[in-house]
Amino acid sequence: MRTHTVLLLAALGIPAAVTADSTQTQPMPRATVTTDTAMVSAANPHAVQAGVDVLAVGGTAADAAVAVQMMLNLVEPQSSGIGGGAFILYWDATEAKLSTFDGREKAPASATPAYFQDADGEPLKWWDAVVGGRSVGVPGTLKLLEHVHGQFGNQEWSDLLEPAISKAREGFKVSPRLSTSIESAKERKLDMFESTRDYFFKDDGTALAAGSYLTNDNFARTLRSIAINGSAPFYTGQIAKDIVAAVQTETNPGEMTLDDLANYTVVEREPVCVPYRAYDVCGMGPPTSGGLTMGQILTLLSNHDLPSIGPTAEAWHLYIEAAKLAYADRGMYMADSDFVSMPEGLLDKTYLSERASLIDPATSMGKAEAGSPPSEDALNFAADLQPEREGTSHFSIVDQFGNIISMTTTIETGFGSRVMTNGFLLNNELTDFSFKDMKDGKPVANRVEGGKRPRSSMSPTMVFKDGKPMLAIGSPGGSRIINYVTQKVIAILDWEMDLQAAIDMPHVVNRNGKTDLEEGTTALDLQSELEALGHEINVRGLNSGLHAIAIQDGKIHGAADSRREGIAAGF
């Protein structure tokens, strides 16, 4: 079956330079991939191959997701894995139902709002907090996959882990992206801990070179135990003990206990859906801010004729202003809804109509202030501007039965906490909390609390027309994810762009501050016009990793971000 899949990729026109063992370093022009039956779009060809193989034997999107995630953990360890957390949107074609599942990491039960503060109550510097066990949240990805597979899978759990087990033992070629990431992270203490240093660096201390072979027997043993026993070893068994030991005894020790791991639960939450023109755009609710913030941006723009305006400076100005307003509300109100009573009116049409009136087509508003959405609870929070770093992955899957998964998965910043155990990295997700718990005498909604899930920007998304799914999309990118995904939805729905062209469209990003234009792209052509409208501009690299699948005219169309090394493939 493996040979069949490799041939399949070639048949679909995937360039030879991005096959599974690619050492290609330059972005290559991509074309949308079209198939009849099933599709996987993910960040690494090995992971796509594993997922397509599962689909080819009749597996569901839930089955394929297990194989894809486990392989990503192996070949793209800097971005996601069982040491982290994830969110899943799942479309069950039989029931015609969209479900969303929260596998976000949690703070230890003992954590207090002063968790990331020094003895004087001052916030720690970000990197001082990241490196070591203190930043590690209770991982949720493995239990999330097990939960969703239990509801929607039809293949044996152990079979789904076998591709990653085999690849870990036989080895794989280090990709250019992984090699470059290792070298860059060395400056941020990736080589501090022995187990991590031994895995990612050669004996002379240099990063593993692209094209060199890497095996991971420890991860293979971990997956074999999970294949036989499910998630139990990870949450209550020997792996759990090893995780706690790594968290508590490494530099900058954390507070995670065996009880914290044993008590972890996946939460099924209500989807966040907003109407946008002839479509319904659905995402994940808190503790991620993705669905709500995207929903606000789209609703704020819904009264502007973006289809007629096209992707011009005029349209980007409107988008930037809407993003400012939405990010202002995000910073003030959005956090884990199990701990914070968020305003129910964040998507209220009257409220957002009032907010939309603040957008002046002729000039920038500067920095936006949070609004006062309708709520039954008193709104008395302080704004949180805690950034999220770019260490995440996204994949989309459509199976032959019409089931769809959109899953964003992370260990937070690249290589997470730098702490490694049993062949996988542990996240630094707790640094997504606000380090400050109070501001101007008011509590910060996203402050640390025991058992709380930190706010995220992950935005796994599905778009529906007439009740039928027509797009699954998402991206890595820290707090810029919301911009990346929302813009591509606009490009596809309003500007009717080809899927690959939409994903590769240059980025224009605003998080309620300066506007980022993607360096080396035609986005720079907008700079003078945007500056004339009052926008402050930064030119910088904006390395999204969008992976999308669209269903249209009875065909399945897939695309993978040319900024990274992923592909889309199917049959």
Catalytic residue among 60, 293, 299, 392: 392
- Are the C-beta atoms of 55 and 402 separated by less than 8 Å? no
Active site residue 392: yes
Whether residue 85 contacts residue 139, with contact meaning beta carbons closer than 8 Å, is answered with yes
* CA dihedral sign of residues 322, 323, 328, 331: positive
CA distance 351 to 369: 14
Residues in the chain: 571
- Cβ atoms of residues 132 and 252 within 8 Å: yes
The amino acid present at 509, given as its one-letter code, is V
Q: Rounded to an integer, what distance in angstroms lies between the CA atom of residue 170 and that of residue 290?
A: 38
Cβ-count burial 30-67 (b if 16+ within 10 Å, e if not): bebbbbeebbbbbbbbbbbbbbbbbbbeebbbbbbbbb
How many angstroms from the chain centroid is the CA of residue 420? 21
Pairing between β-strand 279-283 and β-strand 272-276 as defined by DSSP bridges:
antiparallel
> Which residues in 272-377 belong to E strands, given as ranges?
272-276, 279-283
- Round to whole Å and give the CA distance between 241 and 234: 8
| Active centre residues (catalytic) | 392
